[in-house]
């Protein structure tokens, strides 16, 4: 399967989606002007990954900041992952970042996927 | 040229560290954010306060960018995308203020949203955030409808606002959000 590997910028996160090496990660900052457009390839990738996923999918979110438009797309990504059996979310937050920790808890409440919380 | 000194004095009197007036785009948003970050870094602001200020600024600036487009067709009256953004710093808090023209018919919708947000406490805001997040689709402008809710959550205080009539068609929408400085109070 094709690999998605996007370098992070001041307004968009670093994204790696690599089925073969089992790396699924979104990290950094997410405040693109058009969040829907930015995340479209990610959602499409997950859609096709969901057809024949690995037995385990450990998906890492290590976000420093995301805007409210991105939060909607993060929920869309999590909803896609809901349908992929063997998915676990690793939600990283900076140890003094209560808001990011709380955001993770809120997402965890909204979807039926196990979350693991980790600090960095 | 006296206005230069007057403006300078006004900025000092209001403790304004950034004032931007003009057209708002995503590129401008990034520049203003970078300036604010550098400013907060240079005085050793706490990470937690920096994050909250950054957060409120992003929502505020992107709101203006998204909705300024509504005015594009009116480029003969000088309104266009022009808006003002200000960041002020007091001993105990940062104050994020914006002002932009809006069409009169949308005032009621904005007001209803803000009044609802201001009527809620911390848990109420959390509930509303989750409700909108779960139920909502992005608008055709790409907004999640969460901006004010998020700003109020990061602030912990009420969002102050005002609509100043410009003419039959437009009013000037001013919005003020306070972010307490960690350790201040």
Q: Read off the pLDDT of each residue in B131-144 and give the average, rounded to a whole number.
A: 79
d(CA B24, CA B147) in angstroms, rounded, equals 17
Domains of chain B: 2-180 (3.30.565.10)
Asked if A79 contacts A71 with a C-beta cutoff of 8 angstroms, the reply is no
Distance from CA of B143 to the nearest CA of A (A): 6
Chain B partners within 8 Å of A34 (Cβ): 142
Nearest to A96 among B34, B47, B143 (CB): B47
Higher pLDDT, B134 or B176: B176
Q: Read off the pLDDT of each residue in A59-80 and give the average, rounded to a whole number.
A: 96
Give which of A10, A24, A40 is closest to B31, Cα–Cα.
A10
- Which domain range does residue A10 map to? 4-49+56-119
Asked if A94 contacts A68 with a C-beta cutoff of 8 angstroms, the reply is no
CB contact under 8 A, B58 and A75: no
Q: What is the ipTM score, two decimals?
A: 0.92
Q: What is the pLDDT of residues B21-66, one digit of tens each?
A: 998 889 999 999 999 999 999 999 999 999 999 999 999 999 998 8
Q: Which residue of A has its CA nearest to B65?
A: A33
> b or e along B78-99 (b: 16 or more beta carbons within 10 Å of the residue's beta carbon)?
ebbbbbbbbbbbeeebbbbbbb
Average pLDDT for chain A? 96
Residue B113 confidence (pLDDT): 95
Instruction: Write out residues 85-114 of A within 8 Å (CB-CB) of B.
Output: 94, 96-99, 102, 106, 109-110
Instruction: Count structural domains, chain A.
Output: 1
Average pLDDT for chain B? 89
Asked if B68 contacts B81 with a C-beta cutoff of 8 angstroms, the reply is yes
Distance from CA of A57 to the nearest CA of B (A): 24
Name the band, by pLDDT with cuts 50, 70 and 90, for residue B6: very high
For A45, list phi and psi in degrees, rounded to 5: -60, -45
Residue B145 confidence (pLDDT): 85
Chain B partners within 8 Å of A96 (Cβ): 47-48
Cα torsion through A68, B67, B54, A76, rounded to 10 = 10
Q: Read off the pLDDT of each residue in A51-62 and give the average, rounded to a whole number.
A: 97
Distance from CA of A20 to the nearest CA of B (A): 32
B185: pLDDT strictly greater than 80 = no
Task: List all residues 6 or more positions away from B147 whose beta carbon is below 8 Å from its beta carbon.
Answer: A68, B59, B60, B62, B63
Residue B137 confidence (pLDDT): 73
CB contact under 8 A, A67 and B58: yes
Chain A partners within 8 Å of B47 (Cβ): 94, 96-97
Q: What is the pLDDT of residues A83-100, one digit of tens each?
A: 999 999 999 999 999 999
A30: pLDDT strictly greater than 60 = yes
Residue B182 confidence (pLDDT): 83
Distance from CA of B26 to the nearest CA of A (A): 6
A82: pLDDT strictly greater than 90 = yes
Q: How would you write chain A as a 3-class SS string? A: CCCEEECCCCCCCEEEEECCCCEEEEEEEECCCCHHHHHHHHHHHHHHHCCCCCCCEEEEEEEEEECHHHHHHHHHHHHHHHCCCCEEEEEEECCCCHHHHHHHHHHHHHCCCCEEEEEC
B71: pLDDT strictly greater than 70 = no
Instruction: Specify the 3-state DSSP secondary structure of B180.
Output: strand
Asked if B158 contacts B151 with a C-beta cutoff of 8 angstroms, the reply is no
- Helix axis angle for B122-135 and A68-82, nearest 10°, is 60
B75: pLDDT strictly greater than 80 = no
B179 lies within 8 A of chain A by CB: no
B55 lies within 8 A of chain A by CB: yes
Q: Read off the pLDDT of each residue in B136-159 and give the average, rounded to a whole number.
A: 87
Please report the beta strands in chain B, taking only residues with DSSP state E, as ranges in sequence order: 16-22, 83-89, 93-103, 160-165, 170-180
Q: What is the CATH number of the domain that holds A112?
A: 3.30.750
Residue B144 confidence (pLDDT): 73
Q: What is the pLDDT of residues B84-112, one digit of tens each?
A: 999 999 999 999 999 999 999 999 999 99
Chain B partners within 8 Å of A33 (Cβ): 26, 62, 65, 142
């Amino acid at each position: 399967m094709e690999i998605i590997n996007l370098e992070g910028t001041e307004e968009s996160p670093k994204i790696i989606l690599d089925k073969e090496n089992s790396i699924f990660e979104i990290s950094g900052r997410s405040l693109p002007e058009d969040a829907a457009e930015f995340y479209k390839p990610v959602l499409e990738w997950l859609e096709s990954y969901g057809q024949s996923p690995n037995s385990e999918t450990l998906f890492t979110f290590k976000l420093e900041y995301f805007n409210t438009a991105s939060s909607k797309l993060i929920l869309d990504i999590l909803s896609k992952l809901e349908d992929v059996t063997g998915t676990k979310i690793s939600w990283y937050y900076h140890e003094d970042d209560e808001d990011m920790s709380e955001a993770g808890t809120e997402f965890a409440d909204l979807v039926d996927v196990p979350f693991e919380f980790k600090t960095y | 040229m006296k206005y230069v000194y007057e403006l300078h004095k006004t900025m000092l009197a209001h403790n304004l560290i950034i004032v931007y007036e003009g057209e708002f785009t995503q590129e401008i948003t990034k520049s203003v954010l970078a300036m604010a970050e550098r400013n907060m870094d240079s005085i050793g602001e706490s990470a937690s306060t920096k994050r909250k200020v950054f957060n409120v600024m992003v929502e505020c600036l992107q709101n203006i960018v998204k909705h300024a487009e509504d005015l594009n067709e009116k480029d003969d009256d000088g309104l266009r995308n022009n808006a003002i953004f200000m960041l002020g710093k007091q001993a105990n808090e940062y104050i994020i203020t914006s002002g932009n023209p809006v069409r009169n018919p949308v005032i009621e919708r904005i007001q209803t949203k803000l009044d609802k947000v201001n009527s809620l406490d911390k848990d109420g805001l959390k509930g509303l955030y989750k409700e909108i997040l779960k139920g909502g689709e992005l608008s055709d402008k790409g907004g999640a409808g969460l901006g004010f809710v998020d700003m109020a959550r990061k602030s912990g205080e009420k969002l102050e606002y005002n609509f100043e009539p410009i003419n039959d068609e437009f009013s000037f929408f001013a919005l003020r959000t306070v972010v307490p400085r960690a350790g201040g109070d």
